[in-house]
A and B are shown apart, each in its own frame.
Chain A
């Protein structure tokens, strides 16, 4: 070993690097080994498919280095992330370029193992050993300063998180706080060491790097290396199947615990409930606290807002479903009635004989809000539609509640029976009033040749085609986007256009993809009524932001939930259209 390019202070760094690389390699192999066989095949294939390969490259740069999504959300937060990530990347990259352009190193030529060994720390500590050309000196100093500005923002953010538009931040343990402190000090130490060449700062710099890398696997910063893998797996189109294996594991380690989901979560109306948010769910899973993870998975409303705001695009709802599916709930369902229902329907002959153009499936929630059914009936009559109510006399559940509790086989039995009944009808279009049903019909049913519409889309179409004539009134409405219609399928414009044709549309404080769950969601198993009421009150306040005369929604469950807490009348979109039908 040449004295000139070695100094013992590089050793802490080298040890830390060796540890973290080994850990990541083992982790990578483990995750790939845990993937189900089909998924693994799909993954390899995606790496060589041009379309996904391009998406991989785009997102690896866009998400991991430049943090485009965070920029879009908040430029200060975006700058903080990309200055540190991209700046650090550039320091490493330029350092390595330097390594190859500057050989032999300051007149000392080392070869073989020594050369390799030197290479791994040289770009990190080069200033102690050599002086670089002015261009490199400028670039290296520039990016170092960029990183330090990012860290400055991070320190300010820690003191005052409101600056970057974040109200609540994740609560951290000892290791997370420690590694954060290490990250904050690495670069200032480096700057001082480089400028003064005081040995103590070179040691501090190296030890800081070691602390950072040794703690990395046990803290949220593990998201830095894992996110790259997660992006590849996500683009391969995989879905989490087990709560703590394979793809799910990659997602768990990709969660940076940034806490954006905490502010977004409808449960964050109070501190106690905010412990149920996805950031903590991922943390509990990661720490193998399966009891708490199970509790959170069962408490979640499954509104999908955390998935929508997640800068890493972690599909936390999917992981929660897989957690539920892994639990053997004592549900002894008896589906023998399914056969009886099919014979009843055949006997009445209602569906098969009439051969209607439009089939209306109210669903059990709409059965409990008969005003919606009555309104739909009047609307279809007024439009002169050839229609039939498929479940007027009590039908079969769409299957979604069973799916929500992870009972796929039971859900499948219902789905098959409904499919048989619907196909037999010969209808061209299926209209649903309940977004909960809509989601399952869109995703799990195979109804080729039959158009599936939610009644907001259907009514919008009827009005636009001129089949339905309505009068515009002067009532000010606010529209609540049901989770299963909005975030799940992006049906945002049709209901708004319908409302504008019968009255004035006022804006809510949080709209469209940021709409707040009503609190009545079937998704949660164990929220108490009081907790749900708090969520509802918060959501109602958000809707009342611009003082509308009435709240309009498009989901019977949201309707019932809001009606309990709203200071103004709550109606379904079908009801307000029905009021304004041209006589």
Chain B
């Protein structure tokens, strides 16, 4: 049987799921709200742990989805369940009949302005991890002006009850160390500090990156949260933090502060998610059916999930989930 599969989201998860479903003889249709495929990965310069160019991965994935029906600049306006599966109305007023739906809607970056004490949007020299990637890609950012002292703050909007996000965002630790090393490459004379709670180097090669960060790049890792940031007379940033290994408070003046923003569920899909009847978990991500054997299933028949819409994930994890969702959907269609 050859069926239409509606894939909402054209990021890593959506592209990979479409690739695999096409190989399995199905007709995946990707609905992408922006004007390009690739999602957040396409906004990244290089990937941890080996500084692999993100562009290479995205290009490979783009080549793989060749032949897939992709609707760019399009959103799902309405979706109804019927006896044959689902009927979706798109924002361009076309309709699609599909046997199954894959939600691959990904994440939003935490809005750093919500942590006012870090001064994003208030002080000029506070930027986000995403903005730093853009600087690495384009070499342009007015705020980055040959900084002599650079700080990275981990867990911005993650593991923080004060912003109602108690979960770990998983990838920011390694990203921060990767970016710290890259800053040393761009500004070899700069002093670079990272402020972390714990360093969660969970994947292959990540711990090696942590050792290299200190040995080869001379980045200083301070265990402690930054509590507040202010600006001095010259417009430099004064941060207050605690070095919990020394058990002492510290104060430091920096030229640039990078906030490692956490992942939050992409909320632009909320209305459609509600129509499909998919609930959220306590972290605000989509609720999966089972932690071990149902990570691609939702409580609703025919509605599948993949990637960071269910929890923060690294790129390899996302791709693995996208492949598994293809098999799940294939089995669902063939009643296996």
Contact = CB atoms under 8 A, between A and B. Distances in A.
A369 B231 CA distance: 13
A368 B228 contact: yes
Q: How large is the interface on B (under 10, 10 to 19, 20 to 34, 35 or more residues)?
A: 10 to 19
B251 interface: yes
B140 interface: no
Given A369-B116, A560-B116, A563-B114, A394 B240 contact: yes
A122 to B, nearest CB: 68
B335 to A, nearest CB: 43
Contacts of A367: 117, 228, 230
B117 A370 contact: yes
Nearest to A556: B116
A292 to B, nearest CB: 26
Contacts of B229: 370
B164 A368 contact: no
Given A370-B122, A394-B240, A564 B117 contact: no
Nearest to B116: A369
Nearest to B231: A370
A371 B117 CA distance: 9
A394 B251 contact: yes
Interface string B142-164: 00000000000000000001111
B38 interface: no
B242 to A, nearest CB: 14
Contact of A369 (B117, B123, B227): B117
A582 to B, nearest CB: 23
Contact of A564 (B119, B163, B240): B163
A336 interface: no
A465 interface: no
Nearest to B230: A370
Contacts of B163: 564
Interface in B85-124: 114, 116-117, 119, 122-123
A370 B116 contact: yes
A371 B164 contact: no
Contacts of B123: 370
A369 B230 CA distance: 10
Interface in A478-531: 529
B273 to A, nearest CB: 19
A578 to B, nearest CB: 13
Nearest to B114: A563
Interface string A546-576: 0000000000000010011000000000000
Contacts of A560: 116, 162
Contacts of B117: 367-370
A240 B164 CA distance: 38
A539 to B, nearest CB: 16
A534 interface: no
Interface in B51-99: none
A533 B229 CA distance: 26
Contact of B161 (A370, A529, A563): A529
A371 B230 contact: no
Contacts of B240: 394
Nearest to A374: B122
Nearest to A530: B161
Q: How large is the interface on A (under 10, 10 to 19, 20 to 34, 35 or more residues)?
A: 10 to 19
Contacts of A368: 116-117, 227-228
B228 A371 contact: no
Nearest to A372: B116
Interface string A352-387: 000000000000000111110010000000000000
Contact of A370 (B114, B119, B251): B119
B166 to A, nearest CB: 8
Interface string B264-281: 000000000000000000
B12 to A, nearest CB: 30
Contact of A371 (B114, B116, B161): B116
Contacts of B122: 370-371, 374
Contact of B162 (A369, A374, A393, A564): A564
A367 B240 CA distance: 11
A564 B230 contact: no
A433 to B, nearest CB: 14
Interface string A390-412: 00111000000000000000000
B14 to A, nearest CB: 30
A564 B119 CA distance: 17
A369 B164 CA distance: 18
Nearest to A520: B162
Interface in B296-335: none
Contacts of A393: 238
Contacts of A529: 161, 164
B34 to A, nearest CB: 26
A564 B160 CA distance: 12
A367 B116 CA distance: 10
A371 to B, nearest CB: 6
B116 A533 contact: no
Contacts of A394: 240, 251
Nearest to A565: B164
Nearest to B240: A394
Contacts of A370: 116-117, 119, 122-123, 229-231
A151 B199 CA distance: 68
B132 to A, nearest CB: 22
Contacts of B116: 368-371, 560, 563
Given A368-B117, A374-B122, A533 B164 contact: yes
Nearest to A367: B228
Nearest to A561: B162
Nearest to A369: B116
Interface in B140-195: 161-164
Contacts of A374: 122
Contacts of B231: 370
Interface string B231-249: 1000000101000000000
B248 to A, nearest CB: 12
A368 B230 CA distance: 9
A94 to B, nearest CB: 64
B322 to A, nearest CB: 33
Nearest to B251: A394
A170 B240 CA distance: 47
Interface in A216-231: none
Contacts of B238: 393
A367 B117 CA distance: 7
Interface of A: 367-371, 374, 392-394, 529, 533, 560, 563-564
Given A368-B228, A533-B164, 7 more contacts: A368-B117, A368-B227, A370-B119, A370-B123, A394-B251, A560-B162, A564-B164
Interface of B: 114, 116-117, 119, 122-123, 161-164, 227-231, 238, 240, 251
23 contacts: A367-B117, A367-B228, A367-B230, A368-B117, A369-B116, A369-B117, A370-B116, A370-B117, A370-B119, A370-B123, A370-B229, A370-B230, A374-B122, A392-B230, A393-B238, A394-B240, A529-B161, A529-B164, A533-B164, A560-B162, A563-B114, A563-B116, A564-B162
10 tightest A-B CB contacts, nearest first: A368-B117, A529-B161, A369-B116, A370-B122, A368-B228, A367-B228, A564-B164, A370-B119, A371-B122, A370-B230
